[in-house]
A = this chain, B = another copy of it.
Amino acid sequence: MAPVSVFSASDIELGFHAFSDPLRLQVLELLKQRELCVCELCAALEVPQSKLSFHLKALKTANLVKSYQEGRWTYYSLNLNQFLRLEQYLAEFRRYGDIVPARRCDDDL
């Protein structure tokens, strides 16, 4: 099996999984503009708080967002480093340049 360069598979998987849900995408879009607390996100997206909390946890686990608490509020923001890592993972595929055609599958070695 081909070695997977510097990326840990599960790390990448987690990251992309976090991107594969409409609500989580909306959250990320909102955080693009600026840091927001949970109650602001909740209001903007019109979803129950426990639902949002679930998805924020997914984003956090995937390292796509960071958060800190201040008084009663918890503020979330993008962790752009991780965005860059995923971007680089994708970019690696293109570095190989054009597609090498298959050897006919029944050819000898």
Contacts and interface: CB of A to CB of B under 8 A. Distances in A.
Contacts of A26: 1
Interface in A83-109: 83-84, 86-87, 90-94, 96, 99-103, 105
Contacts of A36: 102, 105
Interface residues of A, number: 50
Nearest to A2: B29
Contacts of A86: 90
A20 B29 contact: no
A4 B29 contact: yes
A34 interface: yes
A2 B30 contact: yes
A78 interface: yes
14 contacts: A1-B26, A1-B44, A2-B29, A4-B29, A13-B22, A16-B17, A33-B100, A40-B102, A77-B102, A78-B99, A80-B94, A83-B90, A84-B94, A87-B94
